[in-house]
Amino acid sequence: MTVPSPLPTPSRGAPPARWVVRAGDRVREQALARQLDIHPAVARVLVARQWQDDAALREFLDPRLAALRDPFELADMDRAVARTLRAVATGEKIAIFGDYDVDGICSTAVMLLTLRHLGAAPAHFIPHRLLDGYGMNTTRVEELAASGVQLLVTVDTGITAVTEIARARALGMDVVVTDHHLPEAGLPDAHAVVNPNRPDAPYAGARLCGAGVAFKFAHALLKAAGRPPEEARAFLRDLLDLVALATVADIVPLIGENRVLVTHGLRQLAATRRPGLRAMLAENKLLDAEVTPGHVAFVLAPRLNAAGRTEHAGIALELLLTDCGNRAVALAQELSALNRQRRDEEASIVDDAIARAEAQIAAGLADVLVVAGPDYHLGVVGIVAARVAERFHRPAIVMRLETDRAKGSARSIPGFDVHAALGACADHLLTFGGHAAAAGVQVAASALDDFRRAINAHARTLFAVAEPAPELHVDAVLDGADITWEFYRDLQRLQPFGEENPAPLFLLEGARCPVPPRLVGNNHLKLTLRADGESFPAIGFGLGHLLPLCESPGHAVDVLFRPSENTWQGRTSLQLEVKDLRPAREG
């Protein structure tokens, strides 16, 4: 199964991408190749990414669970653990308050499983995207208090719920917040706030997702509860499949502790014993296969997310927790059907949003694209915003327009902090929250035009200094002779690839197409590339519009690519996954 690598390919609607070749150092490359016993072209990548500390590099290449930091380094962890273990010991009613995306679902599952392992029987609540909206809300807090909950533990949410947590405390509940999102103005008045992004006590260098924070909490709980080390290690290792799913899906940096968690978590996922995950893997022909970040990002996560987008995230949570094989198969099939429904809804909204964005560009409001439609489904506006941002390489905000307000999601581009931009326009907003790359937003319908002008004015002051244009960063220029199975195998030592550790991108200059290229599937470019006496099969996903550049065997092209494996009819070959190509430079 070939899955496109996570980096979006240039589209017909995007401005031309700049190719930026990273600087190299031949002496350092040769030294690293000898020291680490790796292919020289892979050493070239490490030098291009400015690895200077040899000890840190060895740790990067060999991510071990023993490298994970003590969870009690997180601020308030001691208070969170003490209060939770007291509730477990005295039989208090505990409830977990989660979120409806993959990170929130997996965080909820991690915390439920941990508390059950410790002997508790916690309740849980995940909001309905359409009925409850994002995050905590006072009505649901009051319902939990009325049901007798004495300790409320949040996962992947709560850091901005100042009003809701104050209400919980007024109703007699203690609240332990575990979250990773950025606080807006001060911390909530909770019993404990465990968040690596606390401005007063940052957990330096570890941008964990919500499930990563929940895993740290689980580790601390087992440690403080005095569970035997072998039992604790086995239980925590068993949670890593959930943590890996969330970490990749939430697009946090795959470096440091996240790299360790995902490396071991993907192995755990491939061998998972959870009936629901096994059913979902089987449904997508991934059972007993090596599971990659690409499989998580493009195959598994969309199906888990589809529940919260079109129905209720409880379906996905049940899949993660069920012990019944037959129920697991039914849930996996239901999630696949919901994902197909989500794709259909998304496609029609994308077309409409792009048309609205083009009209705004024509009207001179092109710096931040703010589009709203009355028929937009709230479950897919975030995905649509990402498509619009990718298409035009501009920050995009896509909202559902209701009678009195518009609400939706923002997605950004590198170098533009959309959360800060929303903060600069807060006078025009009802609510907002998120981080630099993505955010949720609500604005009064009557203020929508003013907000659109204000955020464009804010962006113009930034873009006047540096006009945004997509950039493709090239890790190394290769010859055809460099592209071998040995090179590819050594390159896999840099896995898992993802945010801040992208799959390396290479440049092959002066390649020719000895066989006529053709279009396959949904506008994919299928071709053969020949350079330096070597020939390689190649595929350009979504790059059918580049076909004319390759049709003449007499014309050479420069190609940006990533090497990948392709298995077809039982045969595995090394192929080039083309990300962009241009007529070869003269000379």
Split at pLDDT 50, 70, 90, the class of 363 is: confident
Region of poorest pLDDT, from 211-215, 262-266, 457-461? 457-461
Whether residue 454 has pLDDT greater than 80:
yes
Average of pLDDT values for 168-184? Answer: 94
Average of pLDDT values for 11-29? Answer: 80
User: In 250-299, which ranges are continuous DSSP H helix?
Assistant: 256-270, 275-283, 293-295
Instruction: Please give the pLDDT value at position 566.
Output: 85
Tokens found for residue 175: 């609240």
Say how far apart CA 253 and CA 59 lie, in whole Å.
16
Find, among 185, 189, 186, the residue nearest to 175 by Cα.
189
Instruction: Please give the pLDDT value at position 15.
Output: 65
Neighbours of 288 (CB within 10 A): 10
Place of tokens 């009557």: 446
Whether residue 314 has pLDDT greater than 80:
yes
Asked if residues 130 and 101 have their Cβ atoms less than 8 Å apart, the reply is: no
Q: What percent of the chain has pLDDT over 70?
A: 97
- Relative orientation angle of helices 314-321 and 275-283, to the nearest 10 degrees: 110
Residue 109 neighbours by CB under 8 Å, 6+ apart: 242, 317, 320, 321
Residue 59 neighbours by CB under 8 Å, 6+ apart: 67
Strands 151-155 and 123-125: unpaired
Region of poorest pLDDT, from 38-42, 258-262, 281-285, 542-546? 542-546
Using alpha carbons only, give the angle 274, 208, 174 rounded to the nearest 5 degrees: 85
Find, among 348, 347, 388, the residue nearest to 368 by Cα.
388
What's this model's pTM, rounded to 2 decimal places?
A: 0.88
Average of pLDDT values for 21-26? Answer: 92
Instruction: Please give the pLDDT value at position 586.
Output: 58
Split at pLDDT 50, 70, 90, the class of 6 is: very low
Split at pLDDT 50, 70, 90, the class of 8 is: very low
Instruction: Please give the pLDDT value at position 88.
Output: 98
Instruction: Please give the pLDDT value at position 1.
Output: 46
Whether residue 392 has pLDDT greater than 50:
yes
Domains of the chain, start order: 18-23+475-583 (2.40.50.460), 66-243 (3.90.1640.30), 363-463 (3.10.310.30)
Whether residue 40 has pLDDT greater than 60:
yes
Q: What percent of the chain has pLDDT over 90?
A: 76
Asked if residues 149 and 95 have their Cβ atoms less than 8 Å apart, the reply is: yes
Average of pLDDT values for 385-408? Answer: 94
CB-count burial class (<10 Å; 0-12, 13-18, 19+) for 27? exposed
Split at pLDDT 50, 70, 90, the class of 77 is: very high
User: What is the tens place of the pLDDT at every residue in 456-478?
Assistant: 999 998 887 666 778 899 999 99
